[in-house]
């Protein structure tokens, strides 16, 4: 049975994409990697792959036929997002506020409103280094993050029917985008940067996942040997850490050049194997 894994972090720069990318690198054709950090997707930079396919990500917004509109203002009254504004003898559509709820075109008494597609981003498939990557990307200036995440996930489920794992590189933090990306995952890998800021933001993530009733595994990145902030917290609260990746300048140098690290630093395959083993062993009703 396929296992859907979300990789999350409480803050940007904690190493979420790094962990997701290298898990996919170990699994290769057994998995699909999905970059759901749609505002700043960057996983494609590291697989050095070719673009296989791209398609638009669209949302539905209302279009008003003024010849049919009686200016009854019913559409504006039912819109909970204030995306329709009556101005004199015209209905102004604020498409950036529209959530595609369908109320206006469903309830318009004269049929003056019809849904039309608006492109807000793209869903692109890359293939490289034996990794298949699906990337959601938001057009600059647009705010429809969640619809693109949903469309990228749906495409991944379709493409990954026969895969062992789908790995979602989620948006950082605990925003609605992150929550939406993890909601139907079987388990979550929490990547924590070994700093006080990292601990603070990790606790927010753990609280969110607890409310969502999602099982999780903890991974420490940039571990400070001898004085680990995350390690001390985990020991005090009896929370197991599945794997730790040290603060190693060599990792930064290889990764900073846009490369995955296994060719240059093969010894780091072991902690990622440990993470995969923990995923396999995790006893959850969802898997």
Domains of the chain: 3-48+129-281 (3.40.50.300), 58-119 (3.30.70.20)
Distance (Å) of CA 213 to CA 168, 187, 216, 235: 18, 10, 10, 23
pLDDT in tens, 84-120: 999 988 999 999 999 999 999 999 999 999 999 999 9
Q: Which pLDDT band holds residue 284 (cuts at 50, 70, 90)?
A: very low
How much is the pTM? 0.93
State how far Cα 141 lies from the chain centre: 19
Asked whether the beta carbons of 192 and 204 are under 8 A apart, the reply is no
Asked whether the beta carbons of 134 and 152 are under 8 A apart, the reply is yes
Q: Among 129-138, 150-159, 231-240, 275-284, which stretch is predicted with the lowest mean pLDDT?
A: 275-284
Strands 50-64 and 113-128: antiparallel
Mean pLDDT score, 212-233: 94
Distance (Å) of CA 165 to CA 4, 34, 132, 249: 6, 11, 12, 30
Is a pLDDT exceeding 70 seen at residue 286?
A: no
Is a pLDDT exceeding 60 seen at residue 208?
A: yes
Q: How many CB atoms lie within 10 A of CB 119?
A: 12
| Higher-pLDDT residue of 239, 225 | 239
Asked whether the beta carbons of 246 and 219 are under 8 A apart, the reply is no
Amino acid 287: pLDDT? 45
**Sequence-distant contacts of 76-85: CB under 8 A, at least 24 apart:** 78/103, 78/104, 78/107, 79/103, 79/104
Report d(CA 61, CA 115) in Å as an integer.
Answer: 5
Asked whether the beta carbons of 2 and 34 are under 8 A apart, the reply is no
Is a pLDDT exceeding 90 seen at residue 132?
A: yes
State how far Cα 241 lies from the chain centre: 23
Report d(CA 110, CA 72) in Å as an integer.
Answer: 10
């Amino acid at each position: 049975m396929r296992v859907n894994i979300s990789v999350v972090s409480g803050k940007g720069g904690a190493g979420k994409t790094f962990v997701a990318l290298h898990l996919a690198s170990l699994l290769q054709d057994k998995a699909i990697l999905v970059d759901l950090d749609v505002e700043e997707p960057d996983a494609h930079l590291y697989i050095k792959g070719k673009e296989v396919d791209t398609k638009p990500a669209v949302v539905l917004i209302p279009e008003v036929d003024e010849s049919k509109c009686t200016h009854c203002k019913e559409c504006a009254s039912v819109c909970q997002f204030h995306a329709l504004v009556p101005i004199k003898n015209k209905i102004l559509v604020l498409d950036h506020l529209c959530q595609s709820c369908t109320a206006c075109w469903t309830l318009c008494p004269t049929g003056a409103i019809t849904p039309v597609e608006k492109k807000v981003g793209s869903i692109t498939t890359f293939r490289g280094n034996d990794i298949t990557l699906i990337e959601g990307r938001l057009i600059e200036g647009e705010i429809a993050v969640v619809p693109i995440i949903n469309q990228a996930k749906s495409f991944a489920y379709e493409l990954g029917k026969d895969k062992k794992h789908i790995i979602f590189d989620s948006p950082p933090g605990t925003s609605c985008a992150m929550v939406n990306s993890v909601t139907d995952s079987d388990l979550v890998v929490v990547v924590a940067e070994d700093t006080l800021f990292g601990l603070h933001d990790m606790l927010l993530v753990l609280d969110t996942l607890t409310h969502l009733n999602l099982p999780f595994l903890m991974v420490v990145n940039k571990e400070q040997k001898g004085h680990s902030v995350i390690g001390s917290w985990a020991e005090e609260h009896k929370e197991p850490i599945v794997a730790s990746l040290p603060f190693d300048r060599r990792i930064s140098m290889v990764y900073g050049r846009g490369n995955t690290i296994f060719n240059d630093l093969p010894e780091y395959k072991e902690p990622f194997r440990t993470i995969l083993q923990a995923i396999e062993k995790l006893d959850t009703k969802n898997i």
